[in-house]
Structure 1
């Protein structure tokens, strides 16, 4: 594989060099363009670019960049009739903070820029949280597209650390009445526990205490399980014959029926940032391996996706059983790695990945087997993954989910309101709102029972497991990556939503 410096300007000038694994080690955790960028389009220099392609026998092109990269491929496509050298497979990978590349919802770098903008804005607001007369103007730039990246910002004084996310689950005292002209909404946290016995009568009072994130207690049912229980007792208690909706909100990302949960992205950012800091702390130390324990219950999402982003050599999770032979193979792999120019290792372990192979056990095993070759350090991240301000993605995701849920509830109330009362007892009146693909979908909770492992509180099928071979490849293990289903083109037809159905546009 060859790398070209400074875009198509470097291409026609011959700034081409061969790259190997050792040349790109650690690139995923570094910002900026390590190859350099230029806005030069290839049309004016097509003859020189074709000459370079002949010289180096280039049979495919991978172009990484923003809108100019998109335009460049269009120009090369138009020049195929004149230059046979351009009749090769070509693909653009969108990478720009502006997020302005056609054909892609999100570009590489846009989320990082949003995080930077939000951090600056949060810091400014924290400085004067007791003063309501200050207005801050942040200078941002992103060309003419209107997307943002940090520019000039007001100087920030030392501010106190951000408090944990605001708890929106306040004490509620809701009276459910079948005769009320306008039935109230109920909001409760995911650790809500249905009462063991419910009073009979036409009017019931429920008092939910202010609750925190206690989803890891073994006797605490999940929100999904709670909603299933309320649905199943509808025949005995008419008070539960009302529209009910669940929004998945947990850092574990272990809710069936959705690809992502509110809070998971924030926790993932905390894990990757901590891993980067830990690796940086040993930048001057040779031959060291870090063992890091993540949260997530029995779900290995945080360990796997965090390990992929942080450049981990291994990630131990419950969904992929492992034994002492696998641990030994990983130690041997790291031993060989220490002979190369990259003499640091990173291993992540999900907290419930194995009852016997604990974090302490793995740390002691690596320390003993790697004695004389590398030394070990361990770190249990713990509740660091739950604190801090939410990421921009989680803020926008939560806002979008909440708006759609309220629209759905309002619509269901109108549909089920008859003769002065609300009565909703169908399956589609008790739903989970989840993200499937790029769409927010309401799914009856009763249909998710067969897709759930209630003992370990995880979905029976999880999309991110397909990423694990990719992590091994990046760690230089000899394995293959199945891309059989990744080349399908999704055809999207944009239709203008009707004014009566505003939820379609969400």
Structure 2
């Protein structure tokens, strides 16, 4: 499968993985003369349109003739107007739409050989020998069967004179590449399927909404979510909403679960909680394999506890609505890679699936993934549930273990009392926020507190950053440095902002001597800092001062949490996903405002400091025509070229709206006002121009499912790492002396791994003046794709991508 192929032992256990070509050089028109078709099949999912759009535009960029095959396999069988050539204009304005604009249908005809004969004839008539399939495992299996039968189908068509000798030769082989479009996330071989993130958004929006009415009336709610025989949606939704109980098919409850459930719900009411949430997967079963339904759980709670209990079956609401920024970007990246995989394929190349592994798009053998997916169901049929959970992968196992630990009513009695003040280790860890507020910080604090308590460590919450630590008596908070108990963090996962309070000044600004004195005074054995660049810089300042102050010789971990995503050592920061969704949503509304007002271009300024991550990613998610950022210098000629580009699109393609994003510090002279005025003047007669500065609304909102669970996961790993370092560096007199560079680290996701990187190493790759990493992954991978997707035809798909060897994988990919 290529020099980068290695064997994985995770969710992709024994599945060969080939690194894709994302970010590598590829020139326009390099595949002129080839034809390919794209279709969606099976159940629809949000993000399919983004994937189809990317296939059309990357194919067109390479010089291919691209066809839409409408209504899935049924359209392939019926032919005629169901197979139409796609154009740039026909793929415009579809990215933000849910479902699939080219239609999807179940097709009984394709299951019969005669149906596949008709499909082959229709493809040959259009000279289509490359297919992109967007669907679930059933759709992908059907495509592989079609490929295996291709030669025999052609022979039969030739024997019955339905095709010519020339057609038989020119279409002698067919290549298949799949993308998994499914809200269930039940496909082995990819970390996320297209549509899963959007479905989680629908579920969590529903749970958050239901929680308010449930609390008002002291009700219990039982929510049934989709997923067929996969409990991923139910499990992750339970984690993200702090549900009281979850029922999934891979891990059925033990005998007597009914009594355990009622006891837990009753105990929570006695503790003062006003509502109960139970989430159940539609395929939930008991240990004997008998179905457990939402109504059964509702009747149980009503009869045993006499609670006012309601059932909500979310149903197809989960499939609906517009796709999230994550699914739009995922669809775009996968769609582009699918075309590249087809162009690389030879007649004997096995069908593959483009999947996501950590933060990389990779190619995996289609049928190996399908067989692994089927083996999960086989394990459940045999009631081998432990094996079923293992086959779901390490991430699924971690999610399950995390939920079981965090959802308990209190920490183990042998470890801590519920207040968190009396713990078995006798040591104290501390947590604080530094920097601008960002969603996901509260989820991380909750996870850190509860995991630390289960291990016997007291957790001190430091309110208002260094203000609270140093000047507690002068703040309005009573006792700003105090232990946090188990129930103190109940409900924190769902809330945005920073409940601990946060400030943007670094440790050096306050005085390192004062900070060291207070850390010593509170006898802190380990420190977790959750925040942005200021958090990283403060931790580095304290690390560099260890030779002067023993109080800094403790394990310190930084979890990046900033919408700007400008902290070195990680691909993703907490809060960036929520901000991207806010920006994408606002851009959708801005573009919609031009409905009926023809030919309008919007200039939108987004935050990020000097980091162009938000502008670039929001540009890809929002279908922007350009994104101006500091890292990619531009001049007046570039601006003029973009005006001409927009005029040509509007006049020649009939596109009615344009979108330009600008990072707030992209250029000191080419400001948002300047660009607006220039586009307004140069666009006269072709379009009008409006500007919007989004401002602090990008920091607000409800945390996205990704940020909730990413924060939960990162903090749990931080606890384990920190406690390990505390125990390794405890002296005989009980003091902590930890001065090695691996005891002051930043935890981040780097491509395919979660890594603890020493702060001293990160110093060398940091631009402190501009508050930026010197290298950023998205510059080489996403920027060229953004230009291609917006018809900048002279763009070379080129990047200096640093390909991570797959055998370095951390099985705990986010």
Task: Name the TM tier (shorter chain).
Answer: 0.7 to 0.9
SS of corresponding position for 2:224 = coil
Deviation digits for residues 384-416 of structure 1 (CA, Å, limit 9, x no counterpart): 100111100000100000100011111111111
Q: Distance in 2 between matches of 1:336 and 1:3?
A: 25
Matched, 1:450 2:764: yes
Deviation digits for residues 206-226 of structure 1 (CA, Å, limit 9, x no counterpart): 799xxxx996xxxxx722211
Structure 1, unaligned runs of 5 or more: 154-162, 176-183, 216-220, 498-503
Match of 1:269 among 581, 592, 611: 581
Match of 2:315 among 145, 151, 163: 151
SS of corresponding position for 1:82 = helix
Deviation digits for residues 190-231 of structure 1 (CA, Å, limit 9, x no counterpart): 7352132516879833799xxxx996xxxxx72221111111
Structure 1 residues 203, 55: closer, same or farther in 2, change over 3 A? closer
Q: Distance in 2 between matches of 1:285 and 1:128?
A: 43
Paired residues of 1:286 and 1:343 also in contact (CA < 8 A): yes
Post-superposition offset of 1:34: 1.2
Partner of 2:513: 198
Match of 2:753 among 420, 439, 451: 439
Paired residues of 2:512 and 2:542 also in contact (CA < 8 A): no
Matches of residues 24-423 of structure 1 in structure 2 within 5 Å? Answer: 24-40=91-107, 42-44=110-112, 45-80=115-150, 82-83=152-153, 87-127=173-213, 129=215, 131=216, 133-148=218-233, 150-151=314-315, 170=463, 191=504, 193-194=506-507, 195-198=510-513, 204-205=520-521, 222-339=534-651, 340-419=653-732, 420-423=734-737
Post-superposition offset of 1:81: 5.7
Structure 1 residues 134, 246: closer, same or farther in 2, change over 3 A? same
Q: Distance in 2 between matches of 1:77 and 1:114?
A: 34
SS of corresponding position for 2:756 = strand
Deviation digits for residues 33-82 of structure 1 (CA, Å, limit 9, x no counterpart): 11111233745233222222222211211111122222123323432563
Structure 1 residues 334, 243: closer, same or farther in 2, change over 3 A? same
Q: Distance in 2 between matches of 1:60 and 1:484?
A: 26
Q: Distance in 2 between matches of 1:108 and 1:364?
A: 39
Paired residues of 2:147 and 2:176 also in contact (CA < 8 A): no
SS of corresponding position for 1:284 = coil
Deviation digits for residues 258-316 of structure 1 (CA, Å, limit 9, x no counterpart): 00000000000000000001111111110111110000000000011101111111111
Structure 1 residues 237, 40: closer, same or farther in 2, change over 3 A? same
Question: Quick check: which one's helix share is greater?
Answer: 2
Q: Distance in 2 between matches of 1:369 and 1:404?
A: 53
Match of 2:743 among 424, 429, 441: 429
Partner of 1:158: none
Post-superposition offset of 1:147: 4.4
Size of the aligned set, in residue pairs, is 472
Partner of 2:785: 470
Post-superposition offset of 1:164: 8.8
Partner of 2:417: none
Paired residues of 2:608 and 2:663 also in contact (CA < 8 A): yes
438-447 vs 256-265, which moves further: 438-447
Post-superposition offset of 1:459: 0.8
Q: Distance in 2 between matches of 1:384 and 1:148?
A: 28
Q: Distance in 1 between matches of 2:730 and 2:719?
A: 16
Structure 1 residues 302, 362: closer, same or farther in 2, change over 3 A? same
Q: Distance in 1 between matches of 2:213 and 2:807?
A: 45
Q: Distance in 1 between matches of 2:133 and 2:523?
A: 58
Structure 2, unaligned runs of 5 or more: 1-65, 155-170, 235-313, 318-436, 446-461, 471-482, 485-499, 525-529
41-50 vs 377-386, which moves further: 41-50
Structure 1 residues 427, 40: closer, same or farther in 2, change over 3 A? same
Q: Distance in 2 between matches of 1:96 and 1:490?
A: 28
Q: Distance in 1 between matches of 2:803 and 2:118?
A: 34
Q: Distance in 2 between matches of 1:18 and 1:427?
A: 59
Q: Distance in 2 between matches of 1:53 and 1:301?
A: 41
Q: Distance in 2 between matches of 1:494 and 1:455?
A: 33
Post-superposition offset of 1:9: 2.1
474-483 vs 76-85, which moves further: 76-85
SS of corresponding position for 1:71 = helix
Match of 1:12 among 77, 84, 87: 77
Paired residues of 1:331 and 1:370 also in contact (CA < 8 A): yes
317-326 vs 365-374, which moves further: 365-374
Q: Distance in 2 between matches of 1:201 and 1:484?
A: 48
Deviation digits for residues 18-46 of structure 1 (CA, Å, limit 9, x no counterpart): 11111111121111011111233745233
Structure 1 residues 207, 365: closer, same or farther in 2, change over 3 A? farther
Structure 1 residues 354, 491: closer, same or farther in 2, change over 3 A? closer
Paired residues of 2:564 and 2:611 also in contact (CA < 8 A): yes
Task: Give me the TM-score of the superposition, normalised by structure 2.
Answer: 0.54
Paired residues of 1:79 and 1:86 also in contact (CA < 8 A): no
